[in-house]
């Protein structure tokens, strides 16, 4: 298996822990998302355990790339926050497992074995949070505009990036704020963050 985790101490602890498990061999470890694909092509792991937040390329994008590459590597996402949107995005990226970092170590090794046998494993707490979360009803374009606004871009910058007029961007933002029940853009972004949608 391949471990992708940017925190060196945590990565080494995961490697040490998993190598104690019978039938599990760590063939590679990386600390940057851009290293996942080349390393996977070279080492051909059956499973990749990938942190959701990696420098270079985030874990969900890396998992999606692994799936599209069709090299026989199944993925398990590890995250410290079981936000509903993260789980939805992980499923859309065709991951095979979604585990929280504060899970019992035995649960991770069990998840690895289950995923290796062809099953999907989702942390029960993360699954319940996703079921309980209310849908946001935003269109993909409204989400895209909100994400750019959350990154600090102004309406004209968002417009230039998305090849839209500034007025159209403002309309998207206004509609999104209204759909979310926010008082203003800052409040809408707070609602999005707290709900795990950003």
Pairing label, strands 121-122, 97-100:
parallel
Q: Which of 102, 152, 156 is nearest to 124 (CA)?
A: 102
d(CA 189, CA 23): 45
Q: What is the mean pLDDT of each run of 10 residues along the chain (198 residues)?
A: 95 93 94 96 96 91 92 92 74 90 87 95 78 71 91 93 93 90 85 73
pLDDT reported for residue 80? 82
pTM > 0.75: yes or no: no
């Amino acid at each position: 298996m391949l471990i992708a985790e940017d925190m060196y101490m945590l990565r080494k602890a995961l490697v040490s822990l998993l190598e104690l498990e019978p039938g599990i061999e760590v063939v590679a470890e990386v600390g940057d998302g851009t290293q996942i694909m080349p390393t996977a092509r070279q080492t051909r792991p059956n499973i990749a355990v990938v942190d959701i937040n990696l420098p270079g390329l985030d874990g969900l994008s890396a998992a999606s790339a692994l799936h599209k590459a069709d090299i026989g590597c199944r993925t398990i996402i590890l995250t410290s926050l079981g936000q509903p949107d993260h789980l939805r995005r992980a499923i859309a990226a065709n991951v095979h497992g979604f585990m929280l970092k504060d899970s019992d170590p035995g649960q991770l090794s069990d998840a690895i074995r289950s995923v290796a046998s062809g099953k999907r494993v989702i942390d029960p707490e993360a699954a319940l949070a996703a079921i309980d979360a209310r849908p946001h009803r935003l269109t993909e374009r409204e989400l895209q505009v909100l994400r750019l606004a959350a990154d600090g871009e102004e309406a004209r910058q968002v417009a230039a990036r998305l090849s839209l007029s500034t007025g159209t961007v403002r309309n998207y933002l206004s509609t999104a704020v209204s759909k979310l029940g926010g008082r203003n853009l800052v409040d809408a972004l707070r609602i999005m963050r707290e709900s795990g949608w950003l």
